[in-house]
Amino acid sequence: MNGFERELEERLVRYARVDTQSDERSPSSPSTAIQLDLARMLVAELTEIGAAEVQLTEYGVVLATVPATREGAPVIGFLAHVDTAPQFHAVGVKPVVHRGYNGGPIAFADAPGLTLSPESSSHLAEKIGHDIITASGTTLLGADDKAGVAVIMTLARHLLTNPDLPHGAIRIAFTPDEEIGRGVDKRLPKDLGADFAYTLDGGAVGEIEYESFSADGASVKITGVSVHPGLAKGKMVNALHLAAKIVTALPQATMTPEVTDGREGFLHLYEQRGSAAEVELNFILRDFERDGLAAKGELLRAVCAAVQAGEPRATISCEIRPQYRNMRYWLENDMAPVELARAACRAEGIEPVSVPIRGGTDGSRLTEMGVPTPNIFTGMQEIHGPLEWISVQDMATATRVCLRLTELAATPG
Ligand SMILES: [Zn+2]
């Protein structure tokens, strides 16, 4: 036992209390200025523990270096994101530590009736005796991804206070706006300057992930014909009716998030805005393969075209834009970073598992931009909701795996 637990707990609790929710609707970068509160805190803490080249970039990323203690080792990057998910309440998070978990249901002070239990969260049954951190019932916790931040900060502090440990240069990056897909500025790969990197943004202990979704976004705009309803006969074209036709023509029983898992992709309508005159439908398209993703785009276009053909007086447009691509396309050409993380897991007595991520990470974009960046577990569970929890001991395991990884990379053979 090397005392990571107390430090990790203290860091996560402290970081989780800082509001950092991102906002997809905001055009600014970072999308919310509150994210900089945590970024500035991390700059101060990195400086205090003696990290080098500590910097807050103009695009809102905290960068720092743990200088090498061995020559010739690769430069490894570690990344985590400071923002929390926009999908659930994330203001005024009150972290609660449930010490020495007894295996029963966990109650929430601010939400009577809400319980977290091994029945509803399968990994919890494995954590008897662990210290479990949750929020208080009305917000998410934000272990996604402040657990990653806490792990990287603890790793950095440990390496900086133990200069006899062998490792190459380590580059640290704390990004904003990962949850809204804007965490990787085009300047980041060069500024990071790592040979390869890892995001600390994964779930269960042992997960080393190198496959993410490939992702597109789509906007369908429908312009009807607006006429006074009393004088509308033969003239009005109601955009809301056309939107409903498009939505119902799409395969809801086979291709939506709520009916797919594993390697299946989906087409997800996440927002509908507008009026009889004009409607906008916003979708995300997800698939593990380029072909499957393209097919989903074609399906959406075909449905729009069919509805348009049935009502030539309306104008229906369908714009599809790329978001990120499955990082496997690049990582499978050189699995060394993945194998290194797996070796570090095994050295810590953990059997690594690789499951495809039904989402993306900053690593998806970074990998596409030339910095191979698989994802390492932190222990976080039930993210983006009030039941979010993490085991302090799992975070300590993640920290030990990262520590071992830096050592293995500096001592080949
Ligand atoms: Zn995350």
Q: What is the CA(186)–ligand 1 centre distance, in A? A: 20
User: Within 13 Å of residue 224, how many CA atoms lie on the same side as its CB?
Assistant: 22
Per DSSP, the residues of 199-258 read EEEE-STTBEE--B-EEEEEEEEEE-B---GGG-TTT-B-HHHHHHHHHHHS-TTTSSGG
Do 173 and 63 form a contact (C-beta atoms < 8 A)?
yes
Closest CA to 199 of 159, 170, 172: 172
pLDDT > 90: percent of the chain: 96
Point out the catalytic residue in the list 5, 45, 83, 179.
83
CA separation, residue 197 to residues 180, 193, 305, 340, 371 (Å): 21, 10, 43, 11, 7
Mean pLDDT throughout 252-279? 96
Give kind and range of the element (H or E) at residue 342. Answer: helix 336-347
Per DSSP, the residues of 108-157 read -TTSTT-EE-TTTSGGGGGGTTS-EEE--SSS---HHHHHHHHHHHHHHH
pLDDT at 37 over 70: yes
Q: What is the CA(398)–ligand 1 centre distance, in A? A: 15
In which region does residue 222 sit, left (phi positive, over 0), alpha (psi from -120 to 50) or beta (all else)? beta
Identify the bridge partners of residue 322 per DSSP, sorted by sequence position: 216
Q: What is the CA(166)–ligand 1 centre distance, in A? A: 29
Give the span between the Cα atoms of 274 and 181, in whole angstroms.
Answer: 25
Per-residue pLDDT of 370-401, as tens digits, reads: 999 999 999 999 999 999 999 999 999 999 99
User: Does the annotation count 178 as an active-site position?
Assistant: yes
Do 35 and 82 form a contact (C-beta atoms < 8 A)?
yes
Question: What's the whole-model pTM score?
Answer: 0.91
Mean pLDDT throughout 276-304? 97
What 3-state DSSP class applies to 271?
A: strand
Point out the catalytic residue in the list 178, 185, 348, 382.
178
pLDDT of residue 1: 42
pLDDT of residue 413: 61
Per-residue pLDDT of 316-329, as tens digits, reads: 999 999 999 999 99
Q: What is the CA(362)–ligand 1 centre distance, in A? A: 9
Identify the bridge partners of residue 77 per DSSP, sorted by sequence position: 171, 197
Per-residue pLDDT of 128-169, as tens digits, reads: 999 999 999 999 999 999 999 999 999 999 999 999 999 999
Give the span between the Cα atoms of 84 and 74, in whole angstroms.
Answer: 31
Token pair listed for 256: 């939506």
User: Does the annotation count 334 as an active-site position?
Assistant: no
| 307-323 as b/e: b if 16+ CB within 10 A | bbeebeebebebebeeb
Q: Which residue has the tokens 């993410």?
A: 212
Per-residue pLDDT of 185-229, as tens digits, reads: 999 999 999 999 999 999 999 999 999 999 999 999 999 999 999
Q: What is the separation of C-alpha 349 from the centre of its chain, rounded to a whole number of angstroms?
A: 27
Do 65 and 170 form a contact (C-beta atoms < 8 A)?
yes
Do 76 and 197 form a contact (C-beta atoms < 8 A)?
yes
CA separation, residue 33 to residues 22, 143, 180 (Å): 9, 20, 15
Closest CA to 188 of 29, 399, 46, 359: 29
Token pair listed for 263: 């390697």
Q: What is the CA(361)–ligand 1 centre distance, in A? A: 7
Q: Is the dihedral of CA 382, 383, 389, 395 positive or negative?
A: positive
What 3-state DSSP class applies to 96?
A: strand
